[in-house]
Amino acid sequence: MNRRQFLLGGLAAAATTIGLVGCAPGSGSSGGGASSGGGDLTFAWWGNDVRNKNTTSAIDAYKQANPGVSISPQPGEWASYWDKLATQVAGNTAPDIIQMDMAYISEYGNRGALLDLSGVNTSKFVDGTVESGKINDTLYGVNAGINTVTIMANPKVFEKAGMDLPDDTTWTWDSLIDTAAEVASKAKLTFGAASLFNSDAMFSAYLRQNGKQLFTAQGLGFEAGDAQAWFDLMVKGQKAGAIGTPAQLTEEATKSLDQSTLAVGTGAMQTYWSNQVEALNKAAGTELKILRFPSLAGKATERKAWYKASMLWSASARTKNPDAVVALIDWWVNSTESANINLAERGVPANGDIQSAITPKLSGAQQGVLKFINDIKPELSDTPIAPPPGGGKLGDVMLRYQTEVLFGRQSTADAAQKFVDEMKSNLQG
């Protein structure tokens, strides 16, 4: 049984048990000040050392202010988080509060496993940041932070290579490959640019610049020819020495943030989300530089960039304490107390007032993220829709076929067609 089947089996069992519950939890809340009521809550998230520390501190602060609430933390790692959650949902032991990702919210929301969170106050959220958590007009996820996909670069590595950092407002996909190959050669690195072509976010950027999308309301938003062009670009990068050997590429895809090539100093650039800068700086022991992803013609205003919910707060439809759940999520996204603890580790706060309140308290790295988020506003295009059920594993499926290409077992044309066929099948499953 693959992960997709495992997830859907768990959700189907949960949906049968809960009768596709999705009711709004009572009276709602306002500005982080809603009454928490009482109850025993479980709180699950994936993260790194920085996030784990922040989250635990915020939970402790909330419990101190609300002594009638008991909260049991369930931290985890991305690699095992989703299988564990599927098992919990299937066994009717889902956490009350669930850190959710855009890749999976449709899977859970469409099958009645998530609570309607319309009681959370989102009136102060930045335009366009509430919609990311809506499935069929029901709010199943509350934006935990504004995020955007980036290329992180290590200035010290470029200095060692005797090179300037690239101009990210004018570079193209081809010039990115050239730069990555040059810095890898001169600095004797494993990777010039890591995690580039197996990133579904980077593939999305490339598609958007070519007038396509990963997904549309009708299903898959691209065809085999689009995927082949991306695979061909990957092969070009690999032959140029820009992105590592096939074995190195596949091994890198399994590493945690603190073991990644950028963290350990064997790479010059790597694809990451903007909210990960703080943890990456800590892991790398140096201050990294946030770069825009390239455009087709070297014009940043044509990048078709977008804001993404770094992650979302969701809740189990089976929670026995819906009012307490809503109150905690409301406090998390609308209170300065929570924001002063979490700052921008999960992304820039979606609440504009909270964003302004914490700006002076942000670290240099986080202020850099906030500046980057604001600087790219002229480069933004429409926000991609959440992957439909079956779409959340697109990156994993794509990597599998890319591996076949890189090891010479399939042509880019054959692999692209099989990739598209499998994804279309997954969306229909």
Q: What is the mean pLDDT of residues 279-293?
A: 95
- pLDDT at site 311: 94
Whether residue 154 has pLDDT greater than 70: yes
- pLDDT at site 357: 92
Q: Please indicate, yes or no, whether the overall pTM of this predicted structure exceeds 0.85.
A: no
- pLDDT at site 31: 40
Of 429 and 178, the one with more pLDDT: 178
The 10s digit of each residue's pLDDT in 323-360 is 999 999 999 999 999 999 999 889 899 999 999 999 99
- pLDDT at site 6: 42
| Strand-pair partners of 175 | none
The 10s digit of each residue's pLDDT in 37-81 is 578 999 999 998 889 999 999 999 999 999 999 999 999 998 899
Burial call 408-421: b when 16+ CB within 10 Å, e when fewer: eebebebbbbbbbe
Give the distance, in angstroms, between the CA of residue 250 and the centroid of all CA atoms in the same chain. 20
How far apart are the C-alpha atoms of 14 and 112, rounded to whole Å? 8
How far apart are the C-alpha atoms of 48 and 273, rounded to whole Å? 14
Average pLDDT of the chain? Answer: 90
Contact 311, 101 (CB under 8 A): yes
Q: What is the mean pLDDT of residues 379-392?
A: 89
Burial call 343-378: b when 16+ CB within 10 Å, e when fewer: bbbbbbbbbeebbeebbeebeebbebbbebbeebee
* C-alpha distances out from residue 107 to 147, 236, 387, Å: 21, 35, 9
